Amino acid sequence: MQTVLLHPQLIHFPIVLILVGFAADLASLVFPKIPCLSKTGFYLEILGLIGVFFAFGSGYFFTTVMEGAAGLARERHELFALITMITMTIATAFRIFIVVKNVEEGNFRYVSLFLFFLATVFVSYTGFLGGGLVWDYLIGI
């Protein structure tokens, strides 16, 4: 496998894991009698964080240097990838803390869901910027 293709192949996993995990957590608020939704969101959040580390690393270490407008677009994409990784790390660490301490009910759950929401927004925007690199500058095609 070419290392240039590693990043595009890895990035889709954390995007989907985070989006579906957040959707499961949101659904657990609407359907509180289905406990597996919250657990599913929790496990997908953890897997999404692991995927974020791999996606960020593959983009940072295995993609080519770009200059000009493409370089600026890549810098912006990298910035939001870093913001996504930090936000996802904080959201997941907080979620693990409240699960271990068994305080998932009440305000802690809403804070956790808000942090997960922020990570979902950031990963979506980062993916949008990455798609712009591919389609606007024909990177990786």
Residue 125: half-sphere exposure toward Cβ, Cα within 13 Å: 17
Q: What does the pLDDT read at residue 91?
A: 98
* Numbers of helices and strands, H then E, in the chain: 5, 0
pLDDT in tens, 4-60: 678 888 999 999 999 999 999 999 999 999 989 999 999 999 999 999 999 999 998
| Claim: this prediction has a pTM higher than 0.85 | yes
Alpha-carbon span 97 to 103, nearest angstrom? 9
Q: Which helix (H) or strand (E) holds 67?
A: none
